[in-house]
Structure 1
Amino acid sequence: MLTLLEKISDLNDLVLQGKALEAFEKYYHDEVVMQENENVPTQGKAANRQREQEFFSAITEFRGAHPLKVTVGEGITMVQWHYDYTHKNWGVRNYTQVSVQEWQDGKIIKEQFFYGN
């Protein structure tokens, strides 16, 4: 059985390979709740899959993503990412984000993203 460090490292590697949706299918719980900052959370894997697909389809130029720091605790992981891309609705985005993942039954049950606007 993989440790949380091994799981989050594999998930990050999949994202870096352009396989974020594959990582989503592999590591996210059916009941996952995802939330951007303090916005209303999105409930369930189907709704979050659609949200992820819409996000990735709106990227018009991808210049890079780099995990800067990874932290693992009991049932929780955190990754500080740096992203650089152009989004068709938001324009150029070049920023640092912290993603906090809560794990249950070997899958991410809750993820919240923290970043400046």
Structure 2
Amino acid sequence: MDFLIEKISAVNDLILQGKGLEAFENYYHDNVVTQDNDDEVFAGKEINRKRKEAFFDAITEFRCAKPLKVAVGEKTTMVEWQFDFTHQDLGCKKFTQVAVQEWQDGKIIKEKFYYGL
């Protein structure tokens, strides 16, 4: 489990430095699958990279990203985040989100986000 603590800490540190795309490139598996709540599933690194790039590019004002809690289990990590930003399509958003990551081969193979907006 120490291995996963180190990995998720590195991911979180990059996000806090404004390097979310670098975290994605370094710590996400080529076959990564992501999902927001019970919405559509997105499979593969390329499509998820494009989604992340589009999301980050549309942030017009960034005020806060703060990890509140981190949990580590068998091949799984969870991070509760607090976010506060303005997005050109979504408007002003201040919310808490839980991200659950499943790991394979030292990289995130599946990530699901739970939040209410």
* TM-score computed with the length of structure 2 as normaliser: 0.98
Whichever residue aligns with residue 22 of structure 1, its letter is: E
The alpha carbon displacement at 1:38 in A equals 0.4
The one-character-per-residue Cα deviations of 1:5-38 (angstroms, maximum 9, x if unpaired) are 0000010000000000000000000000010110
The alpha carbon displacement at 1:64 in A equals 0.8
Q: Where in structure 1 do 4 or more consecutive aligned residues deviate above 4 Å?
A: none
For the residues of structure 2 that align with 1:43 and 1:3, how far apart are their CA atoms? Answer: 25
Whichever residue aligns with residue 44 of structure 1, its letter is: G
SS at 1:3's partner residue? helix
SS at 2:65's partner residue? strand
The alpha carbon displacement at 1:49 in A equals 0.2
TM-align CA RMSD: 0.7
Find out whether 1:93 has 2:93 as its counterpart: yes
The one-character-per-residue Cα deviations of 1:97-117 (angstroms, maximum 9, x if unpaired) are 000000011100000000002
Whichever residue aligns with residue 67 of structure 2, its letter is: P
Residue aligning to 2:82 = 82
Residue aligning to 2:35 = 35
Q: How many residues are treated as equivalent by the alignment?
A: 116
The alpha carbon displacement at 1:59 in A equals 0.2
Whichever residue aligns with residue 79 of structure 1, its letter is: V
Gaps in structure 1 of 5+ consecutive residues? none
* TM-score computed with the length of structure 1 as normaliser: 0.98
